[in-house]
Structure 1
Amino acid sequence: MWSWDIILALLAVGSAAGFIAGLFGVGGGTLIVPVVLWALQLQGIGGHPYAQHLAIGTSFAVMVFTTFSSMYAQHKKHAIDWTTVRQMTPGMILGVLLGAVSAKYMPTLALQVFFIAFLAFIALKTLRDSKPKPSRTLPALLGLTAVGTLFGAASSWVGIGGGSLSVPFLLYCNFPAHRAIGTSSGLAWPIAIAGTIGYFANGLHIANLPEGAAGFIYLPAVAILSVATILFAPLGVKTAHKLPARKLKIAFGIMLLLIAAKMAWNLIH
C-alpha cells in the first residue's frame, strides 16, 4: 500500500532533488537512490536481492525528466557549452551502457559500499578549494571521450547524472563555475536516458521483481518523484545564477557527506 506519508515524503525529496539538480548541474540521484530504497523497505521489499539495482534504475528514470527540465532552464540562460556536450556525450553513453551491463553481476552490498565511498570522495573533493593552473584546458577529443566513458560508467553504478564528476572536472579545466554547472546539466540528460535504457533492459529477464517494476525501474516511484523534480529544477537553476558558487559548493559537499554517513550507518545496522 502506498500511504500518504510515503507519497508526501517522495514529493518532498523529489522537490529537493529537483532543486539541487538545477542548482549544481547534477541529476539528483544522490537523494533519489536512498529514498527509493527507503520506499522499497516500507513496501516490505527492501531485502530484495536486486533492491539497489531497482533504486539506481529508478533514479535514472526520474533523472530523464529532472535533467531535461534543468538543461532547458540553463539553455535559456545561455550557460551551456554545447561543443563540450557534443564531444563528451558519446563516451558517456558508452560508459553508462557498459556500467549498466556490469552492474547486473555485482552484488547489492558491493554497489552500496561503492556508492557510499563514492559520495564521501566527491564530498571531500567538493569542499577543497584548490585552484587549477591557469593554463589548464579541456583535453583533445580522444581524451574527452575517455573521460566521458569513465564518468558514464561511474554514473551507471551509483545511479547519478554525472554532475558530481563533470562539474569538478570542468572546474579543473578552468570553466567558470556557472558555465561548468550549466554544461554539466547538458551532459546529465543523455546519461539519464542511457542509464534508464540499460537498467530497463538488464532487468527484463529477472524473475520475481516487485509489482510495478519494469526491468530495474520501479514505476510508482518514478511517477511521484518526477512530478516534483520537473517543477523544482528550474527554481534551482534560477537560484544558482544569483548565489556565489563557492558557498553552494560547500553546502553541496556537506550534504553529500551527511548522505554518505547516513547510508553507512544504515548498512552497518
Structure 2
Amino acid sequence: MLTTFFIACLLLGALVGFLAGLLGIGGGLVIVPALVYLLPQVGIEANLIMPVALGTSLATIVLTSMSAVRAHHKNRNIPWQLTRQIMAVVALGALLGAFIADELSSQTLAYIFACAVTLLAIYMLASIRRNKTRDMPSNLVFQGVGLFTGVMASLMGIAGGAILIPILSYFGVQMRQSIGVATACGLIVALFGSLGYFITGLDQDNLPGLSLGYIYLPALVGISLTSSLFARYGVKLATKLPVRTLKKCFAVFLMIVAIKMAV
C-alpha cells in the first residue's frame, strides 16, 4: 500500500508542477484535497488527515519554491524594500496558523479550506482587472495584510500568493512585482508554516512512523521529485493555449473540490 501511495504522490507532483507552470497557481490548492483522499489509504486516522495534508503541502512548497525565488531575484522582480516590511509578520502568521490548526478539528479545517478556495475560485472566475492606481496603505495596515496572509495560507496549506497578489495589485503594485513579493513571502509562509506543523505534531503518538510531526515524508518526497520536473512543460504549453479560459476551467474545478470537501 505504501508503494502505491508513493507512486500516486509522484503522479500528483507531476500534475501540480504542470499546473503551476501552466496557470501560475500554487500547488497547495491541488495537493491538500488530493492528500485528503490519499492519506486514509495508508492508515492515517480521520482526525489527523487535515493537519497532515496541510503540513505536508507546506513542506513541499519549501522545496519547490526556492528556485522560483532565486529566479525572481535574479530578474529583479522582487522589490525587497516592500517585501521586507511584511516578511516578519508573514512568518509569525504562518506559525500562528499552524498552532491554530492544531486546536481545530479536521472537519473545521476542511470547512475553512473549502470556504477560502470557493472565494478564490470566484475571484478567478470574475477575472477582475483594476486599472486605477491606489496609494499603498499605511505600514501598520500593510503588516496586518501580511499577518492575515500568513495565517490563512498556513490554515490552507498554500504559499499565499492567491491571497497576496490580488491585494498588492489592488494597491497598484505591478503584476510582475506582486508575483515577486508573493513568491518570496510564499517561501517564508511555507518554511515557518511547515515548522509549526512539525512542532505541533510532535506530541501525536498515533502518526505513522515516516512522519516528522504532521509532515508525512513519503508524500513530501514523492510530490517534490516530480513537481519541479513537470513545471517546465506547463510553462511551454502556456504560450500556446488560451490560459484565461484554462484558469476559468480550473476555478470551476476548485469550486467542485471545495463543495466535495465541505460535504
In structure 2, distance between residues paired with 1:136 and 1:24:
27
TM-score, scaled to structure 2: 0.88
CA distance in 2, matches of 1:199, 1:28: 18
Residue 2 in 1 paired to residue 12 in 2? Answer: no
- The question of 1:37 aligning with 2:25 is answered no
Alpha-carbon distance in 2 for matches of 1:251, 1:145? 33
Report the residue type matching 2:155 in the other structure. W
For residues 22-61 of structure 1, the C-alpha deviation after alignment (integer angstroms, 9 at most, x for no partner) is: 455554111111222222121132x432111111011111
Alignment partner, residue 202 of structure 1: 200
Q: Deviation per CA, 1:157-192: give whole Å up to 9, x if none.
A: 111110110121122123333443333222210110
Deviation larger for 192-201 or 72-81: 72-81
Partner Cα separation in structure 2 for residue 52 and residue 32 of structure 1:
11
Matched residue type, 1:254:
V
Q: What is the match of residue 255 of structure 2?
A: 257
Provide the residue aligned with 1:15 in structure 2. 14
Following the alignment from structure 1 to structure 2, what is the Cα–Cα distance between the partners of residues 248 and 72?
27
Cross-structure match for 1:70: 68
Change in CA separation of 1:188 and 1:248 when aligned onto 2, cut-off 3 Å? farther
Structure 1 partner of 2:118: 120
1:1-269 equivalences in 2 (<5 Å): 1-4=1-4, 6-22=5-21, 26-45=25-44, 47-132=45-130, 134-233=132-231, 236=234, 246-247=244-245, 249-264=247-262, 268=263
Say which SS state the counterpart of residue 161 (structure 1) adopts. Answer: coil
SS at the partner of 2:228?
helix
Look up the SS of the partner of 2:111 in the other structure. helix
Q: Relative to 1, partners in 2 of residues 1:24 and 1:75: Cα closer, same or farther, differing over 3 Å?
A: farther
Aligned length in residues = 263
Identical amino acids, percent of aligned pairs: 37
Cα distance change, pair 152–222 in 1 and its aligned pair in 2 (3 A): same
Contact 1:63–1:192 (Cα < 8 Å) also in 2 = yes
> Structure 1: any 5+ residue segments left out of the alignment?
none
**Whole-Å separation in 1 of the counterparts to 2:26 and 2:80:** 18
CA 1:248–1:147 in 2, change beyond 3 Å: closer, same or farther? farther
Q: Deviations over 1:48-103 (max 9, x none)?
A: 32111111011111110122133233334443333332222111111111111111
Residue 245 to residue 74, structure 1, CA distance change in 2 (3 Å): farther
- AA aligned to 2:14 is S
Q: Which amino acid aligns with 1:180?
A: S
Q: Which amino acid aligns with 1:119?
A: V
Mean CA deviation greater in 151-160 or 176-185: 176-185
Distance 1:80 1:25, change over 3 A: farther
Tell me how far 1:234 sits from its aligned partner.
5.0
SS of the residue 2:128 aligns to: coil
Scaled by the length of structure 1, what TM-score is found? 0.86
In the TM superposition, residue 236 of structure 1 has moved relative to its aligned partner by 4.8
- Quote the offset at 1:231 in angstroms: 2.3
Q: Deviations over 1:121-147 (max 9, x none)?
A: 111012223343623133232222110
